[in-house]
Structure 1
């Protein structure tokens, strides 16, 4: 007999407790599940005994190995192999790059060969492995069933082979009869191909140069960290004995190579993203097509303080000298920014920044800001020449370009915006060089005296506190899209795509895996630093990496939009307008793609600002809004079946003054023309949610085309144009539903 000791508590469940146990002589570790059946019903006792018998009967290289089981009084003890490499979720969390197809096929083949698996559930697992996100992320059973029956499981990314995508699609077919069996799957490609030429997981990882933290000290499933982090156990079980025969049988199976044991993946393990390359000296462009960088040799100012003489001096030298001094108080910070902006328009006191730091913080918090956070922001800003080795292009009107930056680079640019170092960006007066770009320097934010200025500044400083404590190692891409050809809306024969709607939640919280709509201005962020906080402003303060788009994105044209991929959420906020409030830190758990982007994509589309209710139904206004929404929804590079849903809401309503029924119809029509489905968030308006689903059902059941619906909206305009009263007698939904089929 071998004697073991319970050393750590691994976890608890509704029916039992799991311990990590260790052999007193050999230090061999096992997992022990204990089930107290003292007060259990006969059914519960039978279930527990059945579990032990089931494990005893399973002997497969891809099933956790059973060791022994017996009763100790009224407690059932089940001994099993301890999986010291962590579970699949931990492995996915450790993964920096996309899971290689060979590794995916290897795992799926192992599961299919080991069990008579639930094929639909296994299909969901396959989707999660390949996408890094859950197939369905719903807690409510009703919503879960609704999504399964209506939306279904999204297709596997096109980066994987056609055969794997076909297999995945069949596995999650809504009809059970159409789903393949395990034997059918194993006899078809790509699983049959793998069976003919099998490989070990570690070999695949090394061959594909798979980037992961698994098997390293940084791994979330690192066994030593796991053991050190668990609670010590004073075992209530006394001596834990396992028969030598059971252990011998278990060890014999292990020696046959039942499992690949975890080890350091030295050749492929690395940090999430390598640091930016060293700067190539003097790689600078000072022209109308690139960002004018603060560290550029041509960023000069007229210096008349040199002992009575006057000359041009490099502003970066001034910035470096000024910021490398200590900051004793807010006056020092204000003075430093004013010195940096010699000959520029920044000469006012930073009322809102001063109020936030002195009136909204304790003396201890203020000291922490001045001695730690502020110097860290300074160091981040001054790293500009070493983090950028080539100029940043401007995303000018009409240009189909994209910019990819590391999160470290974005943070550095934002730190320079904090100190207002970007040249020629402190004025948006007509005829000024950057009058068609949003402001980027934070002087406007520091002077904002609106009710919500404290909350805005809190978001920004929290972001800097986070990134200076631990810099995120990912990437963000900003892409300007220009559409050359639009549908002929009144002639379009396309039917409506699918629609779901919810009155609970927000676009950012409910839109994981979907294309998320930002209710933008033609200048990204609009008057971001001043007064009003709408949906887009709130999103930018929660995700400050979106703010940097203002540095290089020219005002959006009628046929343009901006995509932002990989922006991380740093703050939890609530409310809009005068109720906008910072609630606390938020850890963004969205998975990253193989390039290091958070798998969040946001599209900024700007609606018209409506001053007259009837005018928005005019044909030119209607077509403009249809084209703008279509610009944001269209993606000609991806097959329609693989396009993610669009998640949106009351775009163009609120401060923009649009009719929410019309704007909802416009987005439904644009999504249908772009061959995408739509998820609509009604911001707590359950009545409108019902009306929206009703009109969609009415139109879909009668097979209305996009063109016919556009014509009905035109008809509504003719109906109301001559009405003298401001508000019409019937709204556009009522008009459509009263029309003849």
Structure 2
């Protein structure tokens, strides 16, 4: 830890603290998670080690960058990128009831989806997608997925996990009913984030966990404002299909025509150049080209 100077504590959890720090060599700001391994049960220790392994694999513009990890005297330190815009929940609360413009919602949503695609393509479930785990940088223009504390790697995309994890507001019906689940549970949670961006509140709320679970399992939510486009409102309803198999995959979402321009804008330049050469003769690029581009990232 000699390479870093701690600036201030910015968070605390049951097993550790989160600090804003800077590297002594170049003064670049970063976030350091300090995890106290002495207080931690074996399962949680394993989860931490898994997080480090998973984070090291994740290299994407819409995923919080992992810098390093080190262990000193029963403490694990995870050094990560600092996102100066805070988390998405904080940004939603700053609206004080004033709805976001659709362009802003879709810009963030596409970026979050591209980050999730990177994860799902590697047969990893995030399992805790929520507005608190999405971070903003570059004056709020860039959205990044973070906190892989309970992510799980599947040996096969058809494999189902059984553990009940996640944050109650974002739980899918299959998790609430203790049924097996796969990457479509992340799609439900993604729907919860999209709804939150449109309505500035959770889609499913209750006075107790039991009431919340009932609402989630019925899949009933108040429609978002009609000021938003039909395409956006339809997408929300598709993400909230009770049956996981009826929900679109992340690739299907990113192929939707109304998201096409934003997908292209957020793809790395080299992907766009390699995947498509020549003029675009219509407003909509062929789905095959979009898919080719998505397969390149």
Q: TM-score, normalised by structure 2?
A: 0.62
Residues of 2 paired with 1:197 and 1:50: CA distance? 33
Residue 173 (structure 1) aligns with: 241
| 1:103 alignment partner in structure 2 | 104
Alignment partner, residue 73 of structure 2: 73
After superposition, the CA RMSD in angstroms is 2.2
Q: Quick check: 1:127–1:155 contact (8 Å CA) kept in 2?
A: no
Aligned residues: 199
CA distance in 2, matches of 1:70, 1:18: 15
Equivalent pair of 1:68/1:80 in contact (CA under 8 Å): yes
**Counterparts of 1:105 and 1:26 in 2: how far apart (Å)?**
35
Where in structure 2 are the equivalents of 1:453-492 lying within 5 Å?
none
* Larger relative contact order, structure 1 or 2 (CA cutoff 8 Å, min sep 6): 2
Structure 1 pair 6/120, CA: closer, same or farther in 2 (3 Å)? Answer: same
Cα distance in structure 1, aligned partners of 2:197 and 2:261: 20
Q: Distance in 2 between matches of 1:52 and 1:139?
A: 36
Query: For residue 45 of structure 2, what is the aligned residue in structure 1?
Result: 45
In 1, the alpha carbon distance for the partners of 2:245 and 2:222 equals 20
Distance 1:139 1:86, change over 3 A: farther
Query: Tell me, what secondary structure is at the counterpart of 1:112?
Result: helix
Offset of residue 27 of structure 1: 3.5
Question: Aligned partners of 1:17 and 1:153: how far apart in 2?
Answer: 36
CA distance in 1, matches of 2:53, 2:207: 32
Asked if the contact 2:219/2:242 (under 8 Å) is kept, the reply is: no
Alignment CA distance shift 1:174-1:35 (3 Å): same
Query: Which residues of 2 match residues 332-347 of structure 1 at below 5 A?
Result: none
Deviations 1:121-160 (A, max 9, x none): 1111111101112212235221111112336233232111
CA contact (8 A) 1:124 1:153 kept: no
Deviations 1:595-619 (A, max 9, x none): xxxxxxxxxxxxxxxxxxxxxxxxx
Unmatched 5+ residue regions in structure 1? 200-741
Conserved in 1, the CA contact under 8 Å of 2:15 and 2:40?
no
Larger radius of gyration: 1
Partner deviation per Cα, 1:574-627 (whole Å, 9 max, x = no partner): xxxxxxxxxxxxxxxxxxxxxxxxxxxxxxxxxxxxxxxxxxxxxxxxxxxxxx
The alpha-carbon distance between structure 1 residues 64 and 99, as it changes in their structure 2 partners (threshold 3 A), is same
Where 1:129 maps in the other structure, the secondary structure is helix
Q: What is residue 494 of structure 1 aligned with on the other side?
A: none
Distance in 1 between residues matched to 2:201 and 2:227, nearest whole Å: 16
Verify: 1:119 aligned to 2:217, yes or no. Answer: no
Contact 1:109 1:191 in 2 (8 A): yes
Q: In the aligned structure 2, how far is the partner of 1:120 from the partner of 1:154?
A: 16
Tell whether the 8 Å contact from 2:15 to 2:39 is kept in structure 1 after alignment: no
Q: 1:197 to 1:27 in 2, by over 3 A?
A: closer
Matching of residues 411-426 of structure 1 within 5 Å: none
List runs of 5+ in structure 2 lacking aligned partners. 121-125, 127-185, 268-297
Distance 2:12 2:207 in 1: 21
